[in-house]
Amino acid sequence: MIYYKTDAELEIQRESSLLVGKTLAEVAKVIEPGVKTKKLDKIAEEFILDNGAKPGFKGYGGFPATLCISVNDEVVHGIPGERELKEGDIVSVDCGTIWKGFYGDSAYTFEVGEVEEEVHWLLERTKQSLYLGIEMAVAGKRVGDIGHAIQSYVENFGYGVVRDLVGHGVGRHLHEKPEVPNYGRRGTGVKLKKGMAIAIEPMINLGRKEVVQDSDGWTIRTIDGKPSAHFEHDVAIKDGKPDILSTFKYIEEVLNNK
Ligand code: MG
Ligand code: MG
């Protein structure tokens, strides 16, 4: 079922989502060649706890960490560990929080040092596709309008849209109905109504759209070994205009001052 939220609940959800954005900004400060992914996880976990919230992913379905950290051809659900980031990598950092019973869920893909130009554009265009999807996230539109906006934009560049993983409703549960695919046809699927909150999260591959799961039971990677980008915002459905609950503002302040 779809859970509809009151305005007061959406404001709590906004606080949770903003904390995710602030946490990702703390992570952004230390992303550089040589840093271990487990260090990023520790920084995020401490920051969330210091702010009186709880990590949303740790223990979820048995996931062992606060962040999902996915490098290069890893699409999502990578587990932080001893791996050191290196110059030219890209790293998707997905973070969840629980604040007063509500989840925030947002992700950003970072460049480590200088990356190849085609990889840089993959990131820029994936982020742009997220905002194009968000434009469709208003009462009266359908989830297919969101998917279509994302898919039609990125396929222009020959990129692959991951099919096996999708966006979702978000609220008191990390994953609620409806599913929000990053592909679709205009005017199809679940109708968006005031009070819904959804996480829109394009996962876009430089090459083929197919993905495989590692033997660790978590990490999803591209089947052709080419890089993948991932950006995610939480959005409240309102009349007339989308209301983005999460933010990249704090992250991008850090990146612009690096
Ligand atoms: Mg996420
Ligand atoms: Mg999500």
Residue 232 C-alpha to ligand 1 middle, in angstroms? 6
Query: Residues within 5 Å of ion ligand 1 by Cβ?
Result: 94, 105, 107, 232
215-246 pLDDT tens trace:
999 999 999 999 999 999 999 999 999 999 99
At 18 the pLDDT is 98
At 41 the pLDDT is 98
Residue 185 C-alpha to ligand 1 middle, in angstroms? 24
Q: What is the C-alpha to C-alpha distance for residues 63 and 78, in angstroms, rounded to an integer? A: 10
Q: Pick the ligand that lies closest to the CA of residue 165.
A: 2
184-211 burial: b if 16+ Cβ within 10 Å, else e: beeeebbebeebbbbbbbbbbbbbebeb
At 1 the pLDDT is 87
At 191 the pLDDT is 98
Residue 15 C-alpha to ligand 1 middle, in angstroms? 16
At 175 the pLDDT is 98
Residue 86 C-alpha to ligand 2 middle, in angstroms? 26
Task: List, in sequence order, every residue forming a beta bridge with 74; answer none if it has no partner.
Answer: 221
Please tell me whether the overall predicted TM-score, pTM, comes out greater than 0.85 for this model.
yes
Residue 200 C-alpha to ligand 1 middle, in angstroms? 9
At 258 the pLDDT is 87
Domain boundaries, the chain: 7-256
Q: Pick the ligand that lies closest to the CA of residue 174.
A: 2
Separate counts of helices (H) and strands (E) for the chain: 5, 15
At 198 the pLDDT is 98
The single-letter DSSP state of residue 2 is P
99-116 burial: b if 16+ Cβ within 10 Å, else e: beebbbbbbbbbbbeebe
Residue 33 C-alpha to ligand 1 middle, in angstroms? 24
Residue 188 C-alpha to ligand 2 middle, in angstroms? 21
At 60 the pLDDT is 97
136-162 pLDDT tens trace:
999 999 999 999 999 999 999 999 999
Q: Pick the ligand that lies closest to the CA of residue 198.
A: 2
Q: Pick the ligand that lies closest to the CA of residue 67.
A: 1
Residue 94 C-alpha to ligand 1 middle, in angstroms? 5
Kind plus residue range of the DSSP H or E element containing 168 = strand 167-169
Spans in the chain with pLDDT lower than 70: none
Q: Pick the ligand that lies closest to the CA of residue 92.
A: 1
Q: What is the C-alpha to C-alpha distance for residues 97 and 99, in angstroms, rounded to an integer? A: 6
Q: Pick the ligand that lies closest to the CA of residue 197.
A: 2
The CATH number of domain 7-256 is 3.40.50.300: no
